Amino acid sequence: MGLKDQLNQDMKEAMKAKESERLGTIRQLRGAIKNKEIELQRELDDPSILAVIGTLVKQRREAAQMYRDNDRPELADKE
């Protein structure tokens, strides 16, 4: 099972379990993958998807750190 299939399955599970935070995260990830596919004009393979995930994780960590530096712990926790 590829990563895209796993994300689709996880999204369905999150919907059924009504886990809104998890569902939002998966949707954001799927959107980023789709945008990258449009940009490259090809379907992404698993290593490319992992690269996209790594980029998003790095962005979230940097955003959380910026919130902490600016005394916004509630936003940092959300990230």
Structural tokens at position 41: 């004009």
Residue 77: predicted pLDDT: 78
Amino acid, res. 12: K
3-state class (DSSP) for residue 27 = helix
**Residue 2 neighbours by CB distance under 10 Å:** 11
Checking if the pLDDT of 57 tops 80, the result is yes
Task: Tell me the pLDDT tens digit for each residue of 10-54.
Answer: 999 999 999 999 999 999 999 999 999 999 999 999 999 999 999
Average pLDDT over residues 59-68: 91
Checking if the pLDDT of 74 tops 90, the result is no
Alpha helices in the chain (DSSP H): 3-17, 20-40, 46-69, 73-78
Helix axes 46-69, 3-17, angle to 10 degrees: 50
